[in-house]
Amino acid sequence: MKRDRSAADTHDTVRIPPVYRAVMAAAGPIVRWWGRLEVVGLHLLPAHGATLVAANHDSAWDPVVIAYAARRRRHIQALAKASLWKNPVLRRVLDGMGQIPVRRGQADTDALDAAVQCLSAGGCLGIFPEGTRSQGKQLRARSGAGRLAHAVPQARIVCAAVSGTVDIARFPRRPRLKVTFFEPTPSPPSESALALATRLTAELRAVAPVPAAGRDPRDG
């Protein structure tokens, strides 16, 4: 009897690296229990095929929380700042997860090529159009997300608006994490790479506004 594949069944078609699985398992108690994660619109994240996941960036926890929210559906390879690879232990973890180092503030063609290769092979790539954490400020989008979308036009674009991550470390106050997956508005003809990235950022921030930097005064 032929097995019916459900949308959430990725185990037969996607080989998720053991290190990636281990990191997701380790993050579970923090993200699911402590963070009380709520996931909305996961069905909009394609279970297969080239997918570009664009997300807002407010905390170092963002990529972990988004990956955990999507763990039953996709293995997300993310572009991460190259300085993280300076730590030998962290480097092994990041490489084992399939993450891609990118040098900020310069034209990193190696990172772009690796990202295009990931998408062209039908992978799922995560990117922050803002480039870095907001730290309480509204940042301008960078063109990277738009350039990738133009380089691999067959890739589906899905936004992942994440909120509550800045509160993870505000013990004893528990955060309320939320990841909302949604499809951006269709790209108009001849939209530039920067215009596309700017539009994605605006739509993400409409769902997940920039949180205030620092501790909440109510925390004492």
Question: One-letter amino acid identity for 21?
Answer: R
Residue 139 reports pLDDT greater than 70: yes
Question: What's the rounded mean pLDDT across residues 104-132?
Answer: 90
CB atoms within 10 A of CB 22: 13
Q: pTM (2 decimals)?
A: 0.88
pLDDT one-digit tens code per residue, 167-205: 998 888 899 999 999 999 998 989 999 999 999 999 999
Q: Residues 78-109, buried b or exposed e (16+ Cβ, 10 A)?
A: bbbebeeeeeeeeeeebeebbbbbbeeeeebe
Closest CA to 18 of 121, 102, 117, 95: 95
The DSSP 8-state label assigned to residue 106 in this structure reads S
List the domains of the chain with CATH numbers. Answer: 18-210 (3.40.1130.10)
Question: What's the rounded mean pLDDT across residues 1-9?
Answer: 38
| Residue 86 CB partners (closer than 8 Å, separation 6+) | none
Quote the percentage of the chain above a pLDDT of 90: 79
